[in-house]
Homo-oligomer: A and B are copies of this chain.
Amino acid sequence: MKKRIPKATVGRLPLYLRCLTDLPPTQTTVSSEQLADMARVNAAKVRKDLSYMGSYGTRGVGYEAEHLRFQISRELGLTRDWRVAIVGVGNLGSALAGYAGFGERGFEIVGLFDAAPDRIGQQVNGLVIESVAGLEEAVAEREVAIGIVTAPAAFAQQAADGLVAGGVRSILNFAPTVLRVPPEVEVRRVDLSMELQILSYYLKSEF
């Protein structure tokens, strides 16, 4: 067991968790090889990744599926719920607000914020859209841990500033812009155009 889990490994733990969930309920143990095949990675990588959390496998047998599921969940901090706010309730923001997968996995949406006056007061998925004017206070009051930015690029930085001022330490940014945040805030970017441009590179090399 090592001091700290490498970033690359943290990025794969949710993947293993998903694979474990997809296992037939009758199967109680799983080998690194099977997990590797499901996750489409190398078996040695699976073993090394899992070993960072401690040694939960049995030599000659494999890993006890239910136990491993729990260990990964605990390591990822999924044994508690986290509150989430979405800033920017356009097409994408609405789609995310309606995504059932969040609630199931312990991410509770407790606020939808938008800047457009005609959007405010509308209801999406049981939540009333609020004005971004009250973002900071609402985030602080409701103890929001994660902010999702689906605002237009021009407004994304203000959205992030409001979230950070309210105490948010983690941001998932869908806006096509690079956010400036203090070093203690973790930002993950999901950028559609960038993904397509990367795919374009690999297409191009074929011709």
Any B CB within 8 A of the CB of A188: yes
User: Bound complex: CA of A146 vs CA of B87, how far in Å?
Assistant: 29
A residues in contact (CB < 8 Å) with B: 5, 10-11, 13-15, 17-19, 22, 38-40, 75-78, 82, 84, 90-92, 94-96, 98-99, 101-102, 105, 107, 145-146, 169-172, 176-178, 180, 186, 188, 190-206
Chain B hits for A101, CB < 8 A: 176, 192-193
User: Bound complex: CA of A17 vs CA of B198, how far in Å?
Assistant: 12
A170 and B102 contacting across the interface, CB-CB below 8 Å? no
A77 and B200 contacting across the interface, CB-CB below 8 Å? yes
B176 and A18 contacting across the interface, CB-CB below 8 Å? yes
A202 and B178 contacting across the interface, CB-CB below 8 Å? no
B203 and A170 contacting across the interface, CB-CB below 8 Å? yes
Knowing A15-B178, A203-B77, A204-B76, say if A196 contacts B92 (CB, 8 Å): no
Interface centre among A94, A176, A177 (most CB of B within 10 A): A176
Chain B hits for A91, CB < 8 A: 94-95, 98-99
Chain B hits for A202, CB < 8 A: 10, 169-170, 186
Chain B hits for A198, CB < 8 A: 10-11, 14, 76, 188
User: Bound complex: CA of A38 vs CA of B157, how far in Å?
Assistant: 13
Chain B hits for A38, CB < 8 A: 178
